[in-house]
Structure 1
Amino acid sequence: MITNTVIKLRNIDIYQQKHLVLSNVNIQIDSGEFVFMIGQTGSGKSSLLKVIYGDLPVSTGDGLVAGFDLGKLHDRDIPFLRRKLGIVFQDFHLLTDRTVEKNLEFVMRATGWKDKNLIRERMFDVLDKVGLRSKLKKMPHELSGGEQQRVVIARALLNDPEVILADEPTGNLDPNTSEEIVLLLKEISRAGTAVLMATHDYQIIRNMPSRIVRTESGLLQDNVSIS
């Protein structure tokens, strides 16, 4: 498998309004890598993710994400950057008034898919990847928390992203279900999609070790270990 750098941030300062959250951020993530991000609440994890998906501007240093130069990113470019990213949140953000099928179709049509047959084919493909093809016609409230998060991951995969950003994706799940979700994300990374997962769950990190970065005291530390 050819490895490409999909996230490369160099000497970047990250601000929320005028407050400096993280300074001199340096990180590189390649295709197929799985990286845990840890740090206390308010230490800058979500701010870093917002920089990566174009929600916070870059004014110092250099940032490259999925081929987009963050320092030159215009508002009109942001939807195209986000099509290269899959974003998975702690709260599922599913449309509660429509089925799994209609949730996925909504995203696909919003991102330019038009052909009904291609839409259906891709939908089956991503639901197969997360083991939920049989749930196509179910409403979100008919699914368990773990199943809902799998639908969210399927949704994140629709446009074949280069990176999945997962912000506390197991925060609302029990330990066994959490482990299943992380195993699924690791499978996705082994298939070539980089995954950056913010988490507070040290037990998962101990059970499924991988590279760890940590936000602490206004800095991003790379390749840290936990006791």
Structure 2
Amino acid sequence: MFSALFSHSAASTADFSHLEQASVEFRDVNKRYGDHQVLNDINLTITPGEVVAILGPSGSGKSTLIRLINQLENLSGGEILVDNKPTGRLSGNGLRQLRSRVGFVFQQFNLYAHLTASQNITLALEHVHGWKPRPAQERALTLLENVGMLEKAHHFPAELSGGQQQRVAIARALASSPQIILFDEPTSALDPEMIGEVLLVMKALAHSGITMIVVTHEMQFAREIADRIVFIDGGQILETAPPEQFFRQPSHPRAQRFLQKVLNPLHQELL
């Protein structure tokens, strides 16, 4: 389904233009807001093409962790590397190229209300990456088709359901052929009946070659698509494990309590 999505990228001279798959490495990463320590000495390596699910209770630092990767938040300490290149001091063209290689899907879709679905995708291609209108439009239509939204190409966000808007947002995040895509609780703003259509798109994207880091509360989804679970609480990584190991026999007491709370009685069905 997604085999054609990564075959074309805009010309660029920035450092990240050569990436096909990309690793992400956190080295002693810290994040503070004033006196509040949100992340504390995070060390984590995500390998190229890996699908990682970030789990943990609300307020544990999950969303902050992924927002640091493409500088939606600034580091307070430590270093983040994408494909072995530090990202903390990038600016200008370097930062734009990094963000073209690191797609981001937000909780609240963040589509431009005055633009159609296709225009939401072509906007950055034309005005940031220098694409001509016709290839940008062709790219947008291909992406919309791949997420099952081609018939809505000329609809505005207000004319779309939440699940449809999020599928457009995923298509937009894929527009610049990223090697990493970050999902920040992509189903949390959706009605239950709309969640499935977004998860199906994400399942199709998983293991296509792109590196995926997914902050989610969808436990069954995480178990099915992730190569690895990273459990965070209190701004610290408490456990990393393959999904089957994590869901059947988590080693950290806090992870055990978390699963008992969020999966019971579903937890028994998973065992």
Shared fold per TM-score greater than 0.5: yes
Alignment length, in residue pairs? 226
Q: What is the distance in 2 between the residues matched to 1:190 and 1:207?
A: 12
Kindly indicate whether residue 176 of structure 2 is the aligned counterpart of residue 123 of structure 1.
Answer: no
Measured against aligned partners, the alpha-carbon deviations of 1:197-227 in whole angstroms (never above 9, x if no partner) come to 1112334335656521122133123424244
Please report the TM-score for the alignment, with normalisation by the length of structure 1: 0.87
Q: Secondary structure at the match of 1:23?
A: strand
Q: Secondary structure at the match of 2:206?
A: helix
Q: Would you tell me which structure has more strand in proportion to its own residues?
A: 1
Distance 1:56 1:73, change over 3 A: same
Distance 1:91 1:47, change over 3 A: same
- Counterpart of 2:182 in structure 1: which amino acid? L
Assess if the C-alpha contact under 8 Å between 1:169 and 1:199 holds in 2: yes
Q: Secondary structure at the match of 1:80?
A: helix
**Number of the residue aligned with 2:197:** 180
- Counterpart of 1:114 in structure 2: which amino acid? W
Greater alpha carbon shift after TM alignment, 87-96 vs 193-202: 193-202
Q: Secondary structure at the match of 1:137?
A: coil
Q: Which of 191, 196, 213 is matched with 1:196 structurally?
A: 213
| CA-CA distance at 1:46 after TM superposition | 1.8
Distance 1:10 1:205, change over 3 A: same
What are the residue-to-residue correspondences of 1:132-171 with 2, within 5 Å?
132-171=149-188
What are the residue-to-residue correspondences of 1:49-60 with 2, within 5 Å?
49-58=66-75, 60=77
Assess if the C-alpha contact under 8 Å between 1:66 and 1:163 holds in 2: no
Distance 1:96 1:215, change over 3 A: same
Identify the structure with bigger relative contact order (alpha carbons < 8 Å, sequence gap 6+). 1
Q: Which of 24, 39, 46 is matched with 1:22 structurally?
A: 39
Between structure 1 and structure 2, the one with the greater Rg is 2
Greater alpha carbon shift after TM alignment, 194-203 vs 160-169: 194-203
Assess if the C-alpha contact under 8 Å between 1:38 and 1:198 holds in 2: yes
**Structure 2, gaps ≥5 residues long:** 1-19, 248-258, 260-271
Q: What is the distance in 2 between the residues matched to 1:74 and 1:95?
A: 24
What value does the CA root-mean-square deviation take over the aligned residues? 2.4
| CA-CA distance at 1:179 after TM superposition | 3.0
Distance 1:210 1:180, change over 3 A: farther
Q: What is the distance in 2 between the residues matched to 1:69 and 1:41?
A: 29
| CA-CA distance at 1:176 after TM superposition | 4.6
Distance 1:183 1:30, change over 3 A: farther
Assess if the C-alpha contact under 8 Å between 2:22 and 2:211 holds in 1: no
Kindly indicate whether residue 79 of structure 2 is the aligned counterpart of residue 88 of structure 1.
Answer: no
Measured against aligned partners, the alpha-carbon deviations of 1:90-114 in whole angstroms (never above 9, x if no partner) come to 1111111221122222222232233
**Number of the residue aligned with 1:11:** 28
Please report the TM-score for the alignment, with normalisation by the length of structure 2: 0.74
Q: What is the distance in 1 between the residues matched to 2:95 and 2:216?
A: 25
